[in-house]
Amino acid sequence: MKVTSGAPDTRVDSVELGRAGESLPVLQPTLGSAMIDVRGLHKGSGRYTFDPGLTNTGVCRSAITYVDGEKGILLYRGYPIDTLVEHCDYLDVAWLLLNGELPTAVQKERFVTDITYHTMVHEQIHVIFRGFRRDAHPMAVMCGVVGALSAFYHEDLDIFDATHRKNATHRLIAKMPTIAAMAHKYALGQPFAYPRNDASYAHNFLHMMFSVPCEKYEPPAAAVRALNAILIVQADHEQNASTFTVRSVGSSRANPYAAIAAGIASLWGPLHGGANEGVLQTLDEIGTVDRIPEILRRAKDKNDPYRLMGFGHRVYKTYDPRAKVLREFCYEVLDAYGKRDDPFLKMAMELERIALEDDYFMERKLYPNVDFYSGIILRTIGFPLPMFTPQFAVARTVGWAAHWNEMVADPEMKIVRPRQLYIGSPERSFVPVGERIGHEPLVG
């Protein structure tokens, strides 16, 4: 295949397929790498592309988020993430991700009112919780309860009706913290805390998580600020595994509640959103600073599947800009809770220092990612380990919803149906049971 291009650093015009005159168009982005449009490849060459994990493949056009993994840049609709954390609250950013611009004062007021008045869940949802064991992982509960939401909104499931899409989007953003907090309270055996209409999104989430009927509860301002920052930096991240899952499920025209429930399931994985829970498990497992070398040895051992949670990233090959933002909030929260001298944090800082000097990590550009610091902040505020990923799901719901809306409105929307490289048996004749020889089952 020959690439035809202009002068260095200018647009690549076409890629020849090896037959004179046959070429593929190249799509030029606003930012990032140009992409070869391979939709005509099979027609022109009888061949498909092969890209397990889709790490080299663009699956859609999107205007929502841009990540530059080499430079450590993260933009939401063109705004750098640190600027948004400095000047916005989570619902400002939610509006931006959904609608492409920061809200005017009037738009923000209406949006806050709409979200606020959708935070309660139907009382029958309370009954659904009763079906779970008290020790069920809250992510299992969230998958089930969020998927069940579509059973309550039959009248609003036409995905091509813009009002239906808006209603579903607002309901999901509004109810996710309520459902996550209910999963926590259910595990504790405490009564559910109803949302407060006079609290900000982050404040309300903490209220529903930690208040009890017997006394007033007001979270430290530093905790509200830190949770607001975590919610913003976790809100979206291009075509990560869970967002692509939402797009894939939504591409069959499944309803948005089912698509978001699938996103929750994908985020649960320890290599994805489950990593912040993994960070704390790792730190608990290390126990003391002198055990860090052993943990790093395991992480570097090719024969050991162990990974150092909170380090490395499929895209970032430098410091995750979200980790940089959260690092500052981490210290502020620890001070607010009088835990600056927390041995746990000291161990985390030592782990970070050693890893950042280690050849294996440096050669592979493995830096702390968003999960490294979010886990420490959440633990300090009082989130139990199993609630770390549900909190991530709360934050990412607006990103999932923004991509789902962008896909449904995209005239190029097609049902996701990748190809495969078939390596199985060629066609063969049937073998009667009496003539079959034993074989090692693949699954058993």
Does 91 sit near ligand SDX (CB under 6 A)? no
Out of 85, 93, 227, 299, point to the residue binding ligand SDX (CB under 6 A): 299
Does 98 sit near ligand SDX (CB under 6 A)? no
CA dist., res. 316 & res. 371, Å (int): 13
**Whole-number minimum distance, CB 81 to ligand SDX, in Å?**
11
CA dist., res. 264 & res. 257, Å (int): 11
- Pair 174, 157: CB distance under 8 Å: no
Does 307 sit near ligand SDX (CB under 6 A)? yes
CA dist., res. 172 & res. 82, Å (int): 26
**Whole-number minimum distance, CB 328 to ligand SDX, in Å?**
19
What is the DSSP code string of 78-121? TEEHHHHHHH--HHHHHHHHHHSSPPPHHHHHHHHHHHHTT-S-
Out of 195, 263, 310, 321, point to the residue binding ligand SDX (CB under 6 A): 310
Compare residues 150 and 248 and give the one whose CB is closer to ligand SDX: 248
Q: Is 237 a catalytic residue?
A: no
Q: Which residues inside 207-266 make contact with ligand SDX, applying CB under 6 A?
A: 237, 240
**Whole-number minimum distance, CB 67 to ligand SDX, in Å?**
7
**Whole-number minimum distance, CB 281 to ligand SDX, in Å?**
12
Does 297 sit near ligand SDX (CB under 6 A)? no
Binding mask 338-367 for ligand SDX (x = CB under 6 A): --------------------------x-x-
**Whole-number minimum distance, CB 308 to ligand SDX, in Å?**
4
Number of residues near ligand SDX (by CB under 6 A): 20
- Pair 315, 69: CB distance under 8 Å: yes
Strands 2-5 and 73-76: unpaired
Out of 311, 329, 367, 373, point to the residue binding ligand SDX (CB under 6 A): 311
Single-letter amino acid, residue 50: F
**Whole-number minimum distance, CB 306 to ligand SDX, in Å?**
7
Q: Which residues inside 155-214 make contact with ligand SDX, applying CB under 6 A?
A: none
Report angle CA 380, 209, 140 to the nearest 5 degrees: 100
Catalytic residue from among 371, 403, 410, 439: 371
Q: Which residues inside 270-289 make contact with ligand SDX, applying CB under 6 A?
A: 271-272, 275
Indicate the burial class of 122 (C-beta count within 10 angstroms; 0-12, 13-18, 19 or more).
middle
**Whole-number minimum distance, CB 309 to ligand SDX, in Å?**
5
CA dist., res. 140 & res. 393, Å (int): 12
Considering only the stretches 7-15, 77-85, 211-219, 305-313, report the one whose residues sit in contact with ligand SDX under the rule CB under 6 A. 305-313
- Pair 349, 397: CB distance under 8 Å: no
Compare residues 97 and 159 and give the one whose CB is closer to ligand SDX: 97
Residues in CB range of 192: below 8 A, 6 or more apart: 126, 181, 182, 185, 186, 208
Does 95 sit near ligand SDX (CB under 6 A)? no
CA dist., res. 163 & res. 156, Å (int): 8
Compare residues 207 and 379 and give the one whose CB is closer to ligand SDX: 379
Residues in CB range of 75: below 8 A, 6 or more apart: 31, 65, 66, 67, 81
Out of 329, 371, 373, 400, point to the residue binding ligand SDX (CB under 6 A): 371
Does 298 sit near ligand SDX (CB under 6 A)? no
CA dist., res. 103 & res. 113, Å (int): 14
Report angle CA 184, 189, 191 to the nearest 5 degrees: 80
Out of 138, 256, 263, 312, point to the residue binding ligand SDX (CB under 6 A): 312
Out of 292, 308, 333, 347, point to the residue binding ligand SDX (CB under 6 A): 308
| Residue of this chain nearest to ligand SDX (CB atom) | 312
150-171 burial, b at 16+ Cβ within 10 Å, e below that, comes to: beebeebbebeeeebbebbbbb
Compare residues 352 and 371 and give the one whose CB is closer to ligand SDX: 371
**Whole-number minimum distance, CB 330 to ligand SDX, in Å?**
16
**Whole-number minimum distance, CB 331 to ligand SDX, in Å?**
21
| Site of tokens 């092969």 | 50
CA 394 to chain CA mean position, Å: 10
Q: Is 371 a catalytic residue?
A: yes
Polymer length of the chain? 444
Compare residues 196 and 327 and give the one whose CB is closer to ligand SDX: 327
Catalytic residue from among 313, 320, 335, 403: 313
DSSP 252: T
> Which residues are known catalytic residues?
313, 371
Interface residues with ligand SDX (CB under 6 A)? 237, 240, 271-272, 275, 299, 307-315, 364, 366, 369-371
